[in-house]
Structure 1
Amino acid sequence: MLQGLEDSRPSVRLRAAMAVGTSPDPRFIDKLVERCAVEPEFQVREMLTWALTRHPASVTVPVLVGEVRSQCAQARSQALHTLSKIRDRRAWPAITRALLADADDEVARSAWRAAVVLVPEGEGPELAAVLSTQLGRGDRETHLSLSRALVALGDVIVPVLRAATTDPDPRVRAHALATERLSRDPDAGFEFAIEEAKRVVALGGADREGG
């Protein structure tokens, strides 16, 4: 099985990861984590994550927490993704501000997802404040990931979103307004929310110029 994880054929690596998850063995954990950092195929990475979740959290979490400090972006991202699936709050201290603002968008998105799953009771407002510093960042997919993470925190996001709607950066204002709309009406869809927010921001800018 361990040899199969390094096979040149994705289908073989996929089956090997499935076999490891089907018959969990703590001796496989280091190898699974190692493969997560270099595996090029999304489906295989997802199977590697599933295989890790099949092992005791008491064994996997410390290894994954160490991995989030890796110099390799994919290693950090996959470790955070797997921690979000395991949902063991002992990993919470590993979700640092640096990870939440990681220069790599994929790492940051994984950190946001992990954070909202692992955040302890009472620390939601502080997390919302940190996440709000990332409003306006990246492409549409990154915007949506952050909005979903903020919405998952519930009502604690209201003050930080209201503050962000007065930000001098129009991208931040539009993203905050879209997130606010999404929190009120999840069925509206993000595309509709962001386009509406852009119109509001544009009109606000026109009003200020007119004044």
Structure 2
Amino acid sequence: MLIGEVARRSGVSARMLRHYDALGLVRPTGRTVGGYREYSAEDVRRIFHVESLRSLGLSLHQVAQALRDPSFTPVALVGDLIRWTQERLERERELLERLRAIDAAAPAGWQDVLRVVELMQGLDSPHAARRQQAVLARQDDVPVPAELLAKAVLAEPDPVVSGALRWALARTGDAGVTTLAAAVRDGDPEARRRAARALADLAELPAAAAALEDALEDPDPAVRRPAALALGRRGVTAAVPVLVGMVVDGVNDVDAAEVLGALSGAPARADRVLAALTGELAAPDADSATRIRLTQALVELPATGTAVREVLDRLSRDDDPAVARVAAAFARLLDERS
């Protein structure tokens, strides 16, 4: 077959076939009387072999090596191709995310595009101070993609920069909640913790509150606790068990006790809080320090003054002298308030 017919049947252009010939990759075995290239059936099969290997990402040099050397094994080369392809896909994924972030900002002109790119570059800086500056130095009239900020919150290890990012994200409204809610459900442990802290700043938004209620069931206490504090401040009684657990564990127990006190503003909620605290006080494995923290939390319940007073009276006669002293002191304090 002449080169034109081979090109039609193989889909490889005549120009590329001549290039293969010049490289010695596929040389036609025959020539016509007029000196034209004439390809045999074996030559055509070799062309298809070349195209098949090229489709895997091999360079022409690698294709030639594979076809020329029978001892050339594909294992190492295929492994390299997999790694190169993964790296290329990662670069393209990052590019796609950047383009989507710019598109989400709805830039009015190229100046807005450049400002968003500048923010992205700042957030990618290895220096915490530079990342913080990128967030705080932005102008209010510059559109910032909320999803970009949400993803930065999920990846930010520095607590100071993270606080700045959460502040900036809260100013964008509910646009970043979807990303945070997905992370608090399905992210790795650190991403779930960061998402919970960010959602706590947005707890007034219904979608954020719903995601925080899901977070109350998270096995990681570092996810449950910020969710409980935020929801408790908004009067969500589902947060009570986690808040009481924080008092028991001695982790942010003062904050938890204050939130439990605020929850007790309604009698129905106050009864639930009181029952949860007294239940932990009666737990057989509660040590002295834990029972003292629970006793302190009781005094934060203003709507159940009489009931709390009765509990304190019982505790003032407790077998543990430290608990008894603390309870008696708080009982006197309640009397003075009255």
- Structures share fold, TM-score greater than 0.5: yes
Aligned to 1:4: 122
Give the number of aligned pairs.
184
Aligned to 2:107: none
Aligned to 1:192: none
Of residues 299, 303, 308, the one that matches 1:181 is 299
RMSD in angstroms over aligned alpha carbons? 3.2
Q: Does 1:35 align with 2:147?
A: no
TM-score, length of structure 1 as denominator length: 0.70
Please tell me whether Structure 1 or Structure 2 has the larger radius of gyration of its CA atoms: 2
Of residues 244, 265, 268, the one that matches 1:132 is 244
Deviations 1:47-89 (A, max 9, x none): 10011011132x2222222221133233222222222222213
Aligned to 1:95: 212
Amino acid of the structure 2 residue aligned with 1:6: D
Where does structure 1 lack aligned partners over 5 or more consecutive residues? 185-196, 207-211
Change (3 A) 1:5 1:80: same
Of residues 256, 264, 267, the one that matches 1:154 is 264
TM-score, length of structure 2 as denominator length: 0.46
Where does structure 2 lack aligned partners over 5 or more consecutive residues? 1-118, 303-314, 325-338
Change (3 A) 1:102 1:10: same
Deviations 1:100-124 (A, max 9, x none): 35443432321222222445xxx52
Change (3 A) 1:21 1:118: farther
Q: Does 1:163 align with 2:279?
A: yes
Task: Work out whether residues 10 and 41 of structure 1, in 8 Å CA contact, stay in contact via their aligned partners in 2.
Answer: yes
Q: Does 1:14 align with 2:132?
A: yes
Superposed displacement of residue 6, structure 1: 1.2
Please give the alpha-carbon distance, in whole angstroms, between the structure 2 residues aligned to 1:31 and 1:176: 42
Change (3 A) 1:82 1:21: farther
Change (3 A) 1:51 1:20: farther
Task: Work out whether residues 170 and 201 of structure 2, in 8 Å CA contact, stay in contact via their aligned partners in 1.
Answer: yes
Identity within the alignment, % = 23
Q: Does 1:109 align with 2:209?
A: no
Please give the alpha-carbon distance, in whole angstroms, between the structure 2 residues aligned to 1:101 and 1:147: 20
